[in-house]
Amino acid sequence: MWPYAVVAALLGLLLLRRWHRERQTVPRLSEKHVLITGCDSGFGELLARQLDARGLRVLAACLTASGAAQLRAVTSERLQTVLLDVTCSKSIAHVTAWVRERVGDQGLWGLVNNAGIAIPTAPNEWLSKEDFVKVLNVNLVGLVEVTLSLLPLVRRARGRVVNVASVMGRVSCFGGGYCISKHGVEAFSDSLRRELRPFGVQVSIIEPGGFQTGMIDPVPLVKGFLRLWERLPAETQAAYGRHYVDKYAKSTALLHRLSSSRLSHVTGAMTHALLSRCPRSRYAAGWDARLIFLPLSYCPAWLSDTIIGFFLPIPASGVP
């Protein structure tokens, strides 16, 4: 019996040590610069306010001038905003030069790649190449280019890169570029983490579940879905049936109701990845991420397909 007690005691000590190390924060927060993309709303806007309140030097990249103005109105003078379109190489180059001027020889402590979109979302057959490219350019290609442009500054500070993926990067539940892009973010982050570890740079992945950020707002999602339906050939419409659209709209509304409004679950994970002495490689955020999608990602394909398929509409010519 005593060997089991020894093993349990050692395991308890290891968990206690990990808990203690993760609670320790890096020093001199007031000297550290953090660039966050996608600060107009949602996770990015809240994280910018929270880090500013903790005394960090926040560089908030917004897509629109109105979003930047609203953020400056509720934060301190330390926070600075800049306009950034992550799909535009010229815009990324401009922001990189802007950041370099502000951080100087100290380097950039944190880069949070948060900017992202989800629409258009629909069955893959309904979409065109351009529909996929629109999402991939923001969520994946833009993230990669921003990261590569700023890596020398992050490496100089021996800082942190925090990439926002999704549980949909583990379990692809719907068609379109969103899930594909998040799979790509996972792969890019994994390789980047191993490459930068010798330089003292930490790379973390945030995997949120469903949150009410506006990205899954049912109104624009369903409107976009209907526009895609209307442009389909008559043969494809007949194969799916009009009821497919109605059931999709109901599923989207249900998903929105089940999503959490507590965005702090995600920004808390981001903050830990930026400020903890011992950040984690991955952070799952949200009850659905931890209790449903992560376990589902480890299930055999036949089981995950059965579970996810239970919630999907059945096409008119599909097998019931």
Q: Phi and psi (nearest 5°) for 283?
A: -130, 120
pLDDT tens, residue by residue, 212-252:
776 666 667 777 788 888 888 999 888 888 888 888 777 77
The first and second tokens of residue 119, run together, are 């629409």
Q: Residue 319: its pLDDT value, please?
A: 57
Given 4, 178, 240, 298, which residue is catalytic? Answer: 178
- Domain co-membership, 124 together with 175: yes
Rounded to whole angstroms, the Cα distance separating 147 from 152 reads: 9
Q: Is the peptide bond before 120 cis (omega within 30 degrees of 0)?
A: yes
pLDDT the model gives residue 8? 62
Separation between Cα atoms, residue 83 and residue 103, nearest integer Å: 17
pLDDT at 120 (0 to 100): 85
Asked whether residue 228 falls in the same domain as residue 98, the answer is no
Residue 319: left if φ>0, alpha if ψ -120 to 50, beta else—which one? beta
- C-alpha 95/C-alpha 93 separation (Å) is 6
Identify the pLDDT of residue 69.
Answer: 95
Predicted local distance difference test score (pLDDT) of residue 223: 77
Record the tokens describing residue 1, joined without a space.
Answer: 């019996």
Shared-domain flag, residues 33 and 154: yes
Residue 305 lies in a domain: no
Residue of 159, 252, 257, 270 whose CA lies nearest to 207: 270
Cα–Cα distance list, 194 to 37, 110, 158 (Å): 23, 17, 14
150 and 252 both lie in a single domain: no
Model pTM score? 0.89
Residue 311's pLDDT is what? Answer: 78
First to last CA, the chain: 54
pLDDT at residue 237, rounded to an integer: 87
261: Cβ–Cβ under 8 A, 6 or more apart, which residues?
211, 212
Domains of the chain: total: 2
The residue written with tokens 């059945």 in the block is: 314
Distances in Å between the Cα of 183 and the Cα atoms of 99, 170, 179, 197, 263 are: 29, 7, 6, 22, 22
For the record, the structure tokens of 33 come out as: 């610069």
* 178 in active site: yes
Provide the pLDDT for residue 251.
73
Q: What is the pLDDT of residues 55-108, one digit of tens each?
A: 999 999 999 999 999 999 999 999 999 999 999 999 999 999 999 999 999 999
Residue 281's pLDDT is 94
The domain containing residue 71 runs over which residues?
A: 27-211+261-298
Residue 254 and residue 138 share a domain: no
Asked whether residue 135 is assigned to any structural domain, the reply reads yes
Question: For strand 282-285 and strand 202-208, is the pairing parallel, antiparallel, or unpaired?
Answer: parallel
Residue 310 makes CB contacts below 8 A (sequence gap 6+) with none
- Residues of the chain scoring pLDDT < 70: 1-2, 4-10, 13, 15-23, 214-219, 253-254, 256-258, 317-320
Residues 204 and 227 in one domain: no
Nearest to 113 by CA among 160, 162, 148: 162
233 dihedral zone (left: phi>0; alpha: psi -120 to 50; beta): beta
pLDDT at 5: 66
C-alpha to C-alpha distance for 92 and 97, rounded to whole angstroms = 9
114 falls within a domain:
yes
The answer on 292 and 230 residing in a single domain is no
DSSP state of 18: H
Helix (H) or strand (E) holding 206: strand 202-208
